[in-house]
Structure 1
Amino acid sequence: MHDVPFTEMVRIPAGRVTLSDRRTQRSWQVGLAAYEIGAYPVTQRLYAEVTGRRPSLTTGDPLPVESVCWWDAAAFCNALSARAGLTPAYELSEDDERARWDAAADGYRLPTEAEWEYACRAGTTGPRYGPLEDIAWYRGNSGERLHEVGAKLPNPWGLHDMLGNVWNWCWDIYDAEVYGGYRVLRGGGWFDEQWSCRASVRRRSHPSLRIDDVGFRVARSAGS
């Protein structure tokens, strides 16, 4: 086990990113203001410190938390904000499947998928920010298990595990007309083949599902 700063945030500069969807064959550009994003996925240690819960199927303090649904991740962001004396970003009602994001709040939140991809790419233009073996835990090298955060090389902006290890929940709804309230997942996980561990790959899941290769990282608006 190596020690990592569990709440380290990295400031990401303003810019533009082009997103694409293989299913619909469409692409679209998104302009982004500067923001902050976690250097690591949220670990089991941090999740337990904030919530008192350890939901992961594979346990260990430096491992990314997994088996958390989208609602769990959003609620964690609010709890972490409250612990830090910040204004929670979300109003949440899981029973009614309602979630509202207060963009003026200074608290922690989930990244949008545009923020996630822009941060993942870190100024690079290829499918990955480095050789897959060096930057990601995926089916070819993970031993089909979870690994501690920060063990692989970071991207040029200092972000670890953007690809592989666990998928990251994002704020966005995937495609409301086709999939209803399903939320976006990004990044690939420890059980995925190499083609899933690319900056552009989009996956979806119902926000109430808890899966053993799905976790998240936090973000904050830079003006906060």
Structure 2
Amino acid sequence: MDDSAEHAMIAVPAGPVTLSDRRTQRSWTVEVAPCLIATYPVTRALYARVTGERPGAAVGGELPVEGVSWWDAVRFCNALSEREGLTRAYLLPADGGGDVERDTSADGYRLPTEAEWEHACRAGTAGPRYGPLDEIAWHRGNSEERIHAVGGKRPNPWGFHDMLGNVWEWCWDVYDAEVYGSYRVLRGGGWFDEHWSCRASVRRRSHPTFRVDDVGFRLARSAGH
């Protein structure tokens, strides 16, 4: 897979998406603006080319990068933007602590919001998944408890691969600031998850410094740039 294919983007149309949280029994509808989201999760090869780093233990350039924190992901977005002459989407605190601010006018790479992520994952479908799980996702039942190269399963109707299974994906959003502080949203399920965690609506949370071998991310950009 060449460099351009690794972060090829698909245009996501505007539309409403209803998110839900099983923990709080709450649901809410978000109007998603048009945006661009990457066909695949960021691969180890792309991450290494941009950062010079090879996190995680798995070996193989076409595997999704894993062992990356939310902070790693936003720094990568800025680094790739700079590499391609785009305006950085994130304003990072100089001391490495504090809050990250998003420049909504920037044309650079960023993480999808969880509403954008779910809208892209569902791709106009209404069920918990966009197809039979074994055909679309690597999960605990078929992964042999290991990560797999991106693009090995059938894409959803809009052309996105690996939205469910393989690696959980960091989103921009804070999960629940009042209860969990700075914890960020994870979506999609991973290669070690049972089938019930690999659904379009499932939300998980983790501290933005957390790194583990089934969490990665994919890129987004705002439309109109």
TM-score by length of 2: 0.97
Tell me, in whole angstroms, the C-alpha distance in 1 between the residues paired with 2:52 and 2:24: 41
Match of 1:221 in 2: 222
Letter in 1 for 2:177: A
Task: State the secondary structure of the residue aligned to 1:28.
Answer: strand
Unaligned runs of 5+ residues in structure 2 are: none
Letter in 2 for 1:169: W
Match of 1:163 in 2: 164
Kindly provide the CA deviation profile for residues 128-147 of structure 1, in whole angstroms up to 9, marking residues without a partner as x: 00000000000000000000
Kindly provide the CA deviation profile for residues 160-207 of structure 1, in whole angstroms up to 9, marking residues without a partner as x: 000000000000000000000000000000000000000000000000
Equivalences for residues 1-80 of structure 1 within 5 A = 5-80=5-80
Tell me, in whole angstroms, the C-alpha distance in 1 between the residues paired with 2:98 and 2:65: 23
Task: State the secondary structure of the residue aligned to 1:36.
Answer: strand
Task: State the secondary structure of the residue aligned to 1:133.
Answer: helix
Tell me, in whole angstroms, the C-alpha distance in 1 between the residues paired with 2:68 and 2:105: 26
Q: Determine if contact 1:17/1:117 at 8 Å carries over to the other structure.
A: yes
Unaligned runs of 5+ residues in structure 1 are: none
Tell me, in whole angstroms, the C-alpha distance in 1 between the residues paired with 2:202 and 2:41: 18
Equivalences for residues 203-218 of structure 1 within 5 A = 203-218=204-219
Equivalences for residues 108-119 of structure 1 within 5 A = 108-119=109-120
TM-score by length of 1: 0.98
Task: State the secondary structure of the residue aligned to 2:210.
Answer: coil
Sequence identity (%):
70
How well do the aligned residues superpose, as a CA RMSD in angstroms?
Answer: 1.1
Q: How many residues are treated as equivalent by the alignment?
A: 223
Q: Which runs of 4+ in 1 moved over 3 A?
A: none
Tell me, in whole angstroms, the C-alpha distance in 2 between the residues paired with 1:111 and 1:198: 17
Structure 2 residue 122 is matched with structure 1 residue 105? no
